[in-house]
Amino acid sequence: MNLDDAKRLDAADPLRSLRELFALPEGITYLDGNSLGACPKATPERIHRAVTQEWAQGLIKSWNSAGWIDLPRRLGDRLAPWLGARPGEVLVADSTSINLYKVLHAALQLQQGQRRIIVSERSNFPTDNYIAQSVVRAHGGELVLAETPEDIPALLDDRCAVLMLTHVNYRTGRIHDMGLLTRWAQQAGALAVWDLAHSAGIVPVDLLGCAADFAIGCGYKYLNGGPGAPAFVWMHPRHEGQVFQPLTGWLGHAHPFDFDSEYLPAPGIQQYQCGTPPVLAMSALDTALDIYDAAQKLGGMRALRAKSLALTEAFIAGVDARVPGAEIHTPRDAASRGSQVSLSLPTGVDGYAVMQALIARGVIGDFRSGVPELLRFGFAPLYNSFADVVHGVDALADVVTSGAWNAPQFTNRAKVT
């Protein structure tokens, strides 16, 4: 695909108007929405209003008058349709790691000590496995890691308490079959916990249809809520009243403003809130979700998914044709692919340096160490275009084939890679 082809595709794109809702820097091709979403143009004004009007003028009255106290539930209701959940089932609160701790603890409680093994995969995002290690230590259990996705079913035996997986693997972009794996886990007597950090707002998710047990995810990747945006948590309604999450903060109390000395958990998902919601951060996420309302009118998830697959397919084809020795680690099968393309380069080519050289040329992806070292390119159909694909492939091909990456300014690794 050349630039003229890309422009024709962009002109016919039903989602093309959404790009204008983002503050994308001129001259930058941003292909890292799987790590940090772009900033919506309306976000600075929304935060400014929250500071200068709701806080500075409304002061503490704004907990009621501006609806601050209801933000966790209101944002959860806005997210719910994109997750295959219903209003009242999703809560926006805390971070992904904290929410994962809550639901893993609750899931092991549901097993009543009869099972204590959490099964995941070694390539799962490290913080998820770290949190799981903490939880099993507290419960006297064990974390067992599958080396490959194909190894998972054999680990779902009568010792397994919980299957914990990230729906879209952060390294490869491979999608797990949520419905199938949830069914297998539950048939073995285990519970299914899903991390939707790389799924929410970008691939179809049907939590209720899959009968999952718990789910968590973040708001700062494809949802574009900003760095460190609040996370979300979901519990299947069948578990309501059977188990309580361990971080019993005051806003998870059934009557927080009665200021009782004894904790009484709120019904449903509300008990998964701990402390005071971060109003400014939630205001930013609230604004970002306005763009998803606009996307819903332009075809919704079906349109987003179709464009995502077209963008990643075009990028894979471009890399195959123009980047010698590059190995694609993301599934080529569309049904198994999220919205990113991960690739490695031949031995002797420093992937980190290649990414830094790309960034210097205005093409931003990211780098992940490990075996193999991967360059990741995330495609956000809300704002990425087919022209972005061409610019990305052009820059990558030139940096690799010219050896431009092999310069001192690109090889010195920063704290954040």
Which residues are the active-site residues?
A: 125, 195, 220-221, 376
Please confirm whether the linkage preceding 372 is cis (ω < 30° from 0): yes
Tokens of 302: 């079906």
Strand 363-364, strand 29-30: pairing: parallel
Separation CA 416–CA 393 (nearest Å): 24
Separation CA 232–CA 93 (nearest Å): 6
Phi and psi, residue 378, nearest 5° = -100, 135
The terminus-to-terminus CA distance of the chain in angstroms comes to: 30
Separation CA 93–CA 72 (nearest Å): 6
Which positions ≥6 away from 218 have C-beta within 8 Å? 95, 96, 197, 200, 229, 231, 232
Nearest to 35 by CA among 273, 161, 223, 181: 223
CA distances from 287 to 211, 225, 226, 282, 294 (A): 30, 8, 10, 9, 12
User: What's 162's DSSP letter?
Assistant: E
| 43 within 8 A of 288, measured Cβ to Cβ | yes
Place of tokens 């729906």: 167
Can you state the angle between helices 300-322 and 386-402, rounded to 10 degrees?
20
Sign of the CA dihedral running 17, 22, 26, 29: negative
DSSP of 214-255, one letter per residue?
EEEE-SSSTT---TT---EEEE-GGGTTT---S---GGGBSS
DSSP of 248-264, one letter per residue?
--GGGBSSGGG--SS--
Sign of the CA dihedral running 281, 286, 290, 292: positive
Judged on CB neighbours under 10 Å (0-12, 13-18, 19+), 12 is: exposed
Using alpha carbons only, what angle is made at residue 295 by residues 51 and 182, rounded to the nearest 5 degrees?
Answer: 100
